[in-house]
Structure 1
């Protein structure tokens, strides 16, 4: 079997196990989601070994999608970190066998404190499943590991079940891209949704001219302005825009009298404008909807303050 065929076999095995998860869903899934949604506390994920690594990712997904969450190592929990768990918190315990000693040791404390406990295991009859409020079945028939020893399909199933929980909660909360951006201000999405046009616009030495400017000067202004356009103004009022594309088209259609043309002969009226306080995502939508690469930035009185272009948006 070739290396590529081995990879394809792994994909096939794990994809089949993922698809089978839908057959294992019970009312516990819906009730668990509702419990987390109604909770006033945090959602704490706890698991050992590979389940713990998956748990860290699940906690990170929840934390970034509107559910306060963190990962708690069961060994550290049993040696002092249980104090991090408050009464209103809901705890998800992950163990594929459902018999992981370090995880089971946490249960008495949680029950005594009155925490809601959700478990995730591949055995609905396990000690873990029987001692929690809601159980999520992640049973897999076959690991992708040829020795059936290394957690492969089972860890993937755990991850997907965690994603299903997170997405269900996002739907219930009507979690939007702007909400996602609040938790990811450093990413490109966060930048577009949180940054305003005025923060990225070109505002110095703007390429402007009046309506009777001759074609030679217009070309120089466009070149020096480095925006590929010139804004035509009359007593500080924006009356049109000329792009380098307009210049090329004028050369083809007015070959004989090209150098006698003025700005008013070339300009497009009613150029697309945007208020300086709008978000970059609004600018992006406006450009895409109107199939333009530049917008004139104005204040509340429609006075020209700057120019914002597609590459300024960081898309």
Structure 2
């Protein structure tokens, strides 16, 4: 490693990303599942967007929120994986200081946005099940657009102070980041200053945003469960609960690894560094990969439309050949 990586400096022009420290020899092998998850996420989320756009019967609040989730997942996975794969495949470890801060902003902004979208989807399910007759009058298209805008503004405004603080810290120890992407705590830990402001603010965002969002979701589903159990027949209860199962699976796939990674970074001092980095990378790739699969399999309208597209195209191709 060159001396420039350890020489004193206050404004580094570039950072050096190590990938997964301690597992450099396995980078190519690790890239295979990472790349597979990314390809599935790209294809799956674009398929969701295409189906909802083409099928007019899916132009409803639930599917608009699903499209917001798909766009968020696309940005989230794309913000980290191309650079990670360039490290794994080409040993391209340098990243411009500004590009690092940009990656950090998009990463954390869209994490907060995804959490907000799950709250909006829980609200949609609450209205649809607890007050179905007023669903179309409450969740109108203008209100859905306002909710989407509020979710985006919340993510952008809450994350911006983290980036501004990270930009002003003096980095005079090293510019080597022991990570595969510019994660906030991995970067600010390199600062030769007291970073209590960044540390406390970031953990406040984690607990206030994700904690409050999970409380809102839990309250919504408590009311939903009460409404479901008050239904007269078992078939009605099963059918109604089935409309929420995909949303619950997606929530668990997002919040559990997200909170685990955030807490592990701050309190898991004795865990191996490569385990930290692996978990932090996987939790950003698994939800974008799983969400279109979950909704594609569990949502009847999307599943039927997808099957129709394949069978219709297959029939057309057969007739052309004949």
Do both proteins adopt the same fold according to a TM-score greater than 0.5, normalized to the shorter chain? no
TM-score, L = length of structure 2: 0.21
Higher helix share: 2
- Mark the structure with the bigger radius of gyration: 1
**Greater RCO (Cα-Cα under 8 Å, separation 6 or more):** 2
